[in-house]
Structure 1
Amino acid sequence: MEIPLRNIEDFLKIDSPCIDVRSPSEYAQGHILEAINIPLLDDEVRKRVGIDYAQQGRVAALKTGLSLTSSWVGTMIDEMIRISSDGQLKIYCWRGGMRSEAAALLARFAGLNPVLLSGGYKSFRNYVHQSFILPWKFMVIGGMTGSGKTELLSRLAEMHHQVLDLEGLAHHKGSVFGGLLQPPQPTTEQFENLICQQLASFNIEFPIWVEDESINIGRCFVPKPIFERMQASPLILLNIPSEQRAERLALEYGQADTEELVATVRKIRKRLGFQQTDIITQLIRQNRFKEACLMLLQFYDKAYSISLSRRDPHTIIHLPVSNNPDVEQVLNTAEINYP
């Protein structure tokens, strides 16, 4: 019986466990969100099989792969049985070739009902890139560092508005301090995959709320089509006094390790100036976080002002806010200016 083959759209709709049979390094670089890695070949074996394929052809590569993975096949079958739901299983490799076909045959021999992804992970990456050029309607929340933009997005999400939290997906808050108190960042490739699968849950007819960002968030880069559309979209600019912003930042980053904070400040000492850097690091060591943040805000506010100057001023709506942004005020502003 022939193993079913599905295109990427139909594959993603199937509600069954999904396994990625590529090598661990390929999986770490990027994968379909819910996929579990059960590699048919580890990185070293994959390299040897690839050499044989290039030098001697498909049959030689197949024989090499079988000889080097025979001890692992039983474990792989056990894992597929354990993961499968009512015998159903989705399987993919890089191109939808030998590795996924071999894994699907093993699954079939074990009494499971596998489905293969036509074109493999490569087809998923094409799908990801195509999703970025769709006419998404972004509503951008802007503001100087410490304005509470992330908290505002969280409240909008709680109210069931469409929210694309780029910083949450990137595990980074954007500034040089953005990686503190955060889990490790994904690769840019996996960041793109996460964005795509978030967008897939949205209705393209309704606005998507997103925070104003640089093109890079830590080591993750926002896809160029998404970034360019954000830059051309309406921006509601939260104008919050620096005192309140410094208090918010001091409360947030005051939980971080002191020496880690000091080391992070020193990363930008050339831009801050060596004298300013010394003063700020002394303040941090004295637990005078608000004063340190006020000095740092002078640097970040200047940088953000330069970023804003590159926007079309007609897309910017200034919204004075005394302290915490009010969700209803933001929603009303958006409705009045962009009905």
Structure 2
Amino acid sequence: MKELSVDEFIKKNDAVAVDVRSPIEFAEGSIPKARNIPLFTNGEREEIGTIYKKEGPAAAKWRAMEVVAPKIPALLSEIRKVKESGKEPVLYCWRGGSRSQSMAAFAALSGLEVPRIVGGYRAYRERILEKIPQMLHGKAIVLHGMTGVGKTQILDKLKEKGYPILDLEKFANHRGSVFGSFGQGDAHNQKTFDALLFEELSQIGTSDYFIMEAESKRIGRATQPDALLTAKEEGIHISVDASMEKRTRRIYEEYILPYKDQPWFKDKVWESIHKIEKKIKNKESLQSLYHAIEAENYEKVINVLFVDYYDPRYSHKENSYEGEFFYVNADSIADAAAEIEKIIENAGFAAPATLNS
């Protein structure tokens, strides 16, 4: 039975991780782009766990055999599909124990040679947490700016051009504010955030810089590692600005327009406002905000939140950084990206064509 260490698996370009744990375990945290081909459903796993506690390991193993045996042809067929796609399936479970061993044994009996990861998902997670601080060796180029100035759009534009980007909001599946989950689905947990951060750092490789947004330590359900926070503090800081009209339009198009006709939308707005209303000290503004929500005048809602909530908070955050700031206007995303490219070049860093050559 072929076994791979976590490092050996990470280095393989043609590998597809096959997670044989139950769907609930897979959802809690998995290797990015892994396929879930579970031996047990969530209910079956719970049942076998109960038998283990009440009757012991022998009874649990027997029940596991009864559950899995009828599924073996279907399970192996799914693994064969991965192999036939030109990729190498690599099995793992929680600790590299009986589930991945059993699947590898079934595969070998059918003529499929399928390796497994030693130590399973737990070893993978321990290893990436160990490696992430070592991979943050480059200089952080940090985009600051108030809500709606277009920081994420600038990151996207620079990524299109090949620049090394860490999109932390994407890793967290959350935009980092009380409205950050609108239209996003569930925010990623810490395990998923860390795995996606590691994967992107692996793609960046030996670049001596990376570009990121100045996010708070906590983004949705995830927390940035201390090494990344330190890199942010010690980075090159760029303050991005845009007109109130542009900012309002961008927020409206991102947060409001796609969802405003959904039955959940207005209730979600109220729910979010109730979380922050005590922090809006101007009572007249708060009443204006309430009336705007009732009237579904969401441009007005955005403007009140800018003036009385977001902008004062962002100004305070930006003032907490020491050192020089560069200033870029982002009424045009393309022009802002070009200005940032010049700042990067003047700082002595290579352009993407050089990085990739």
- The normalised TM-score by structure 2 is 0.84
1:149-187 CA distance string (max 9 Å, x none): 001001100110011111122222212122112233222
Which residue of structure 2 lines up, in the alignment, with residue 283 of structure 1?
A: 292
- Is 2:119 the partner of 1:119? yes
- Aligned residues of 1:30 and 1:190 also touching (Cα < 8 A): yes
The secondary structure found in structure 2 opposite 1:204 is coil
What SS class does the counterpart of residue 113 from structure 1 fall into?
Answer: coil
Superposition deviation, residue 62 in structure 1: 2.4
The Cα of 1:333 is off from its aligned counterpart by 2.2
Which of 337, 341, 345 matches 1:335?
345
CA displacement at 1:290 relative to structure 2: 3.3
2:319 is matched with 309
- Please give the residue correspondences for 1:1-339 in structure 2 after superposition, counting only pairs within 5 Å: 3-12=1-10, 13-50=12-49, 58-85=57-84, 88-134=88-134, 135-255=137-257, 256-257=259-260, 259=266, 260-273=268-281, 275-298=284-307, 299-311=309-321, 313-314=322-323, 316-321=324-329, 323-325=331-333, 326-337=336-347
Q: 1:87 to 1:337 in 2, by over 3 A?
A: closer
Contact 1:239 1:319 in 2 (8 A): yes
Bigger Cα displacement from structure 2, 257-266 vs 48-57: 48-57
Q: How much does 1:323 deviate?
A: 1.9
Using a 3 Å threshold, how does the CA distance of structure 1 residues 109 and 14 change in structure 2: closer, same or farther? Answer: farther
Q: SS of the residue aligned with 2:203? A: coil
2:235 counterpart SS class: coil
> Partners in 1 of 2:340 and 2:81 — Cα distance?
48
Identity in percent: 27
Q: Is the 8 A contact 1:148 1:324 kept in 2?
A: no
The 1-side partners of 2:305 and 2:119 are apart by 49
The separation in 2 between residues aligned to 1:128 and 1:320, in whole angstroms, is: 35
Gap regions ≥5 residues in structure 1: none
The total of aligned residue pairs comes to 335
Which residue identity does 1:133 align to in structure 2?
A: P
Distance 1:60 1:139, change over 3 A: same
Q: CA deviation at 1:57?
A: 6.0
Relative distance call for 1:145 and 1:14 in structure 2 (3 A) is closer
1:183 and 1:73, CA in 2 relative to 1: closer, same or farther beyond 3 A? same
Distance 2:17 2:43 in 1: 24
CA gap 1:87/1:332 in 2 versus in 1, 3 angstroms = closer
Q: In structure 1, how many angstroms separate the alpha carbons of the residues matched to 2:271 and 2:47?
A: 43
Q: Note the alpha carbon deviations across 1:273-308, whole angstroms, 9 max, x for none.
A: 565333123224445433322221121111122222
Equivalent residue letter for 1:79: E
Aligned residue type for 1:303: R
User: How much has 1:55 moved relative to structure 2?
Assistant: 7.0
Deviates more, 1:121-130 or 1:213-222: 213-222
Give the Å deviation of 1:15. Answer: 1.0
What is the deviation of 1:51? 5.2
TM-score (norm 1): 0.89
Cα distance in 2, alignment partners of residues 87 and 308 from structure 1: 47
TM-superposed deviation, 1:59: 4.2
